[in-house]
Structures are given as C-alpha cells and as structure tokens.
Amino acid sequence: MLQEARTQIQQAGNLEALQTVKTHYLGKNGEVTRQLKSLGALSPEERKVKGQEINLLKQEIDGLISAREAELKEAALQAKLASEAIDVTLPALSLPSGGLHIITRILDDLSDIFTRMGYNVVEGNEMEDDAYNFQHLNIPWYHPARDLWDTFWLKDGRLLRTHTSPMQIRYMLEHSAPLKIVVPGKVYRYEATDATHESMFHQLEGLVVGDNISMADLKGTIAELARGLFGPKAKVRFQPSFYPFVEPGADFAVWWENPRGESKWLELGGCGMVHPNVFKAVDDLREQRGLPRMYEGKTGFAFGLGPERIAMLKYGMPDIRYFYANDLRVLGQFKGEL
Ligand code: PHE
C-alpha cells in the first residue's frame, strides 16, 4: 500500500488532487484509518504488532503528503512570481510633455520687461461694449477710423474687442494717476486670413499717465523695450501715424539682426500721446460714478504691439496662421524657447 500511496502522492499535480489522495488514505473512511479501526478485532499481541506497523505506515504517508504539499506550494509561488514579473530594463514610454505656446512665452517675456520698468500687468475682457472699444477712445460711430477695426459683433450688440485699448479707459476709471500698466491679451478682427492676417491675434497695450510725461519718455520706453527683446544693439524708428485716441500718433519699428545674420526694420505697433478727449471721456465716466475728475490736465502715452510679429521675425515664421493651426510639429519646435 505504501508503494501505491507514494505513486499517487507523487502524481498529484496540485494541492486539490493531493487533498483527495490524503482523504483516500488518512480520511475518516480512508484506507489507513480503516485498518486502524480493524485492530479491535485482533488479539492483544497481534494488535500490538499490527498497530505499530499501521502507525508507521500512517506516519510515512503523512510525511510524503507534507513533503509533496511543500513542493506544490513552492511551484505555485514560482509560477505566480514568473507571471507577475516586470522587466525593469525595458525602455520607458516617452510621454509627450506640454509646453507654453510660443505667443504666451513672448507675452510673458514682454510683461517681464515692463515689470522691471515698474509697470503693473493687468488683463481685460475679450467681450467689450461699443463704448469702451470705440466711443470713449475718441472713435465716434461715424468716424472713418472705425473701418480700421473690422468688428465681430455679438448677438446682444456687444463685440469682441478689436484691440486692447479699451483697458486704458477701464483702468483709469478705477485707478488714479500716476499709473503705468501693460495689458496682454487676445483681440479679434473680422477679416480674411492670409500669411500676415489672422482673425484672432494678440496685443500688448501700454499706458503711462502722470505729470509732464512727454514724447521723449515714450521713445525711451520703446527703445528700452527693443533692447529687452532683441539685445543692446537694437534700434527703434518712429513714423507719424494716426490713431484717434492719441495725438501725436506714431508707428514704431525695431531694427534687429537675427542669429541668421538677417536684419531689417520690423513694424511692431502704434503709439502716441494720450488724446485729451480720452482723458475727458474718463473724467465724464468718473463723474457719473461719483468719482472725482482727475485726468484732464494730465499727460500720458500709450502704445500697442503685436507679439505674433515678434515671433515671426525672431523665428522666421513665414505664416501667422501656423501659430493657431495647432500642428504640434510646428508648436513643438518652440518648447523651451525664450
Ligand atoms: N490700438 C491700436 C491698434 O489696434 C494700437 C495703438 C495702441 C496705437 C495705443 C496707439 C496707442 O492698432
């Protein structure tokens, strides 16, 4: 019987099968148990001899089963470890990392330059009223200059701001002079797109108001901006121009040599001395709100520039539409720039 038990135990392929074998021999009605029970029918001497024999057999089978059980458990553990193994030498997945948009970076950079000159950075809403986008900026409804700002009108009569200049009015309404602010943000123009025109683009507006602020201050500020952007050798140029909310008004350009050795004038934006009508409009609004009139008699300058133009020049970007087509092959090239 021992021989037979040994074979069966060895052949038990898993713990369940082993348990069946165990029950077969050592269970309540198992072979060995039955033999033990039959001892009662024997004479005392025979019982002694046979009893020892059966007990020995029982111990042996028990031992074999325990050994096999240990073996099976070890095998199961090894199989589990193998199936859950991780190959730490496999190359990692390369997860694409995000980055700030190139225009965001340029606006941040511009904001830094002006923050160093003591300006506050503020933002306005992209949704505006006719009054703030035009009228208070000395652009009445019949003014031909309105053609310059082709407008996206909203259903309720409001509009998407066509420039960041409305923040000049909004800021002066709530703050007193002297003040120095820049306003980065999105603006919208209802016009056909081409390589140099988009219906959404960005501006950085600047406004300085105080006593005895002059055109010389404006020029010095723009020159400082140019050096901050393009290095100590950058030059600036001003040409007379017209914007209803400044007088005199000018366009400014920056001369800069890029790393490819190319250099030319880059028309960057408009500027000028704040028009007295703008100060008057602000004081009228302040009065309506029960605030003291305080801007008439002050002097100041304002400017507005386009970060897209800076990026196009700096990086040789041939088409403004690339900025917003969200092609990662284009945008990815600017990660970590600036
Ligand atoms: N708001 C003008 C534009 O959209 C730019 C500008 C700002 C000009 C401030 C003069 C002063 O083109």
Ligand 1 pocket mutation, candidates 137, 161, 162, 165, criterion most atoms within 8 A of CB: 165
What digits encode the pLDDT tens for the residues 241-278? 999 999 999 999 999 887 777 788 889 999 999 999 99
ipTM of the complex: 0.98
Q: Chunk the chain into consecutive blocks of 10 residues (it has 338) and report each block's average pLDDT, rounded to whole numbers.
A: 88 89 89 85 86 88 90 90 88 82 94 97 97 95 79 94 97 98 97 92 98 97 94 94 97 85 87 98 98 97 96 87 90 71
- Ligand 1 centroid, distance to 197 Cα (angstroms): 16
Q: Helix, strand or coil for residue 323?
A: helix
Residue 337: what pLDDT? Answer: 46
Residues classed as catalytic: 149, 163, 189, 203, 246, 302
Q: Provide the sign of the torsion angle of the four alpha carbons 271, 234, 185, 180, taken in this order.
A: negative
Residue type, 270: G
Q: What is the pLDDT of residue 338?
A: 43
Residue 314 Cα to ligand 1 midpoint, Å, equals 22
Alpha-carbon gap, residue 33 to 27, rounded angstroms: 7
Q: What is the DSSP-derived secondary structure letter of residue 316?
A: T
| Atom 3 in ligand 1: residue holding the nearest Cα | 163
Name every residue whose Cβ is closer than 8 Å to that of residue 225 and which is 6 or more positions away in sequence: 110, 113, 114
Nearest CA to ligand 1 atom 5: 304
Mutate to test the pocket of ligand 1, among 148, 222, 243 (most ligand atoms within 8 A of CB): 243
Residue of 145, 171, 313 lying closest to 244 (CA atoms) = 145
Q: Give the residue among 306, 104, 88 at the shortest CA–CA distance from 204.
A: 306
pLDDT at 261: 79
Helix spans in the chain (H): 2-11, 15-26, 31-37, 44-83, 102-116, 130-133, 166-174, 215-230, 276-288, 307-315, 328-331
Atom of ligand 1 minimally distant from the CA of 203: 4
Report the DSSP pairing between strands 120-121 and 179-188: parallel
Q: How far is the centre of ligand 1, averaged over its atoms, from the C-alpha of 59 (Å)? A: 101
Mutating to test ligand 1, I would choose from 203, 238, 241, 309 the residue with most ligand atoms within 8 A of its C-beta, which is: 203
* Residue found by looking up tokens 């120095």 in the block: 180
Between the CA of 186 and the centroid of ligand 1 the distance, in Å, is 14
Specify the pTM: 0.73
pLDDT at 333: 85
Q: How far is the CA of 269 from the centre of ligand 1 (A)?
A: 7
Q: What does DSSP assign to residue 156?
A: T
Give the residues surrounding ligand 1 with Cβ less than 6 Å away.
163, 165, 205, 243, 246, 249, 269-272, 302-304
- Determine the pLDDT at residue 163: 96
Relative orientation angle of helices 2-11 and 15-26, to the nearest 10 degrees: 160
Residue 81 burial (CB < 10 Å; 0-12/13-18/19+)? Answer: exposed
Q: What does each C-alpha distance from 141 to 153, 280, 299 come to in angstroms?
A: 14, 18, 26
Confidence (pLDDT) at 251: 98
* DSSP result, 14-40: SHHHHHHHHHHHHSTTSHHHHHHHGGG
The answer to whether the beta carbons of residues 64 and 5 sit under 8 Å apart is: yes
